[in-house]
Structure 1
Amino acid sequence: MENPPDDLFVKKQQFTRTVYRDVYPAIDPKEPSNSQAGKVVVITGASRGLGRKAFVPSFAKSNPRAMVIVARSRNDLEEVRDEIHAINKNIEVMVAPTDLLSTESIEFMWAKVKETYGHADVLINNAGTLQSGAISDLPVEKWWIDFETNVRAAFLLAQGFAALLGKERKGNIVNLTTAGAIMVFPGMSSYSLSKLASLQLQAFIAAEHPNISAVALHPGIVMTDMTLDFFIPFAKDTPELVGGVGVWLSTEKASFLSGKYMESNWSVDDLVARQDEIVQQGKLSVGLKGDFGSEQFE
Structure 2
Amino acid sequence: MTDVTPTFRRTTYPTISPSNPSNDQSNRTVLVIGGSEGIGFSIALAYAQANASKIILSSRSQAKLDDAVAKIRARGVKRAVTSIPLDSSDVAQIGKFWTRLREEEGVFVDVLVLNAAKVGATTTAAEVVEFFQFNVASKLYMLENFQKQAGAGEEKRHKVLIDITSAAAHAYPYAMNAYGSSKAAFSNYLCHLADEVPEGEMRLVTMHPGAVYTAAASGSAEYSSDLPIWDHPSLAGHMALWLSTPAAAFLHGRFVWANWDAEGLVEMKQKILDDAGFLKIGVTGVNSFSVGGLMAKCTEVPAPQDRSLT
TM-score, normalisation: structure 1: 0.88
1:61 aligns to 2:61 (yes or no):
no
Structure 2 residue 24 is the aligned partner of structure 1 residue 35: yes
Q: What code does the residue aligned with 1:238 have?
A: H
Alignment of 1:184-223 (within 5 A): 184-210=172-198, 211-223=201-213
Contact 2:18–2:24 (Cα < 8 Å) also in 1? yes
The answer to whether the aligner puts 1:237 opposite 2:231 as a matched pair is yes
Q: Which runs of 4+ in 1 moved over 4 A?
A: 228-232, 289-292
Structure 1 residues 38 and 143: alpha-carbon distance in aligned structure 2, compared to 1, 3 A threshold? same
Instruction: State the secondary structure of the residue aligned to 1:213.
Output: strand
Aligned length: 282
1:50 is displaced (CA, Å) by: 1.1
Please tell me whether the aligned partners of residues 31 and 57 of structure 2 are also in contact (alpha carbons under 8 angstroms). yes
Task: Check whether the contact 2:49–2:77 (CA below 8 A) recurs between aligned residues.
Answer: no
Residue in structure 2 matching 1:113, options 71, 83, 101? 101
Instruction: Tell me if 1:22 matches 2:11.
Output: yes
Structure 1 Cα separation of the partners of residues 145 and 36 of structure 2: 21
CA contact (8 A) 2:2 2:260 kept: no
Question: What 5-or-longer segments of structure 2 have no aligned partner?
Answer: 288-293, 303-310
C-alpha spacing 1:205/1:294, structure 2 compared with 1 (3 Å): closer
Partner of 2:111 in structure 1? 122
**Partner residue of 1:256 out of 246, 250, 253:** 250
Structure 1: how far apart are the matches of 2:163 and 2:125? 25
Gaps of at least 5 residues in structure 1 are 1-11
Q: Which amino acid aligns with 2:16?
A: I
1:176-235: per-residue Cα shift (whole Å, max 9, x none)?
111221222342110111011111122234233311111110111111133355554243
Return the match for 1:141 from 126, 133, 138: 126
Tell me the residue number matched to 2:215.
Answer: 225
Q: Which amino acid aligns with 2:275?
A: Q
2:48–2:77 Cα contact (<8 Å) kept: no
RMSD, matched Cα: 2.0
Look up the SS of the partner of 2:215 in the other structure.
coil
In the other structure, the counterpart of 2:263 is: 269
Q: Select 1:285's aligned residue among 268, 280, 287.
A: 280
Aligned 8 A contact 2:168 2:174 in 1? no
Percent identical across equivalent pairs? Answer: 27
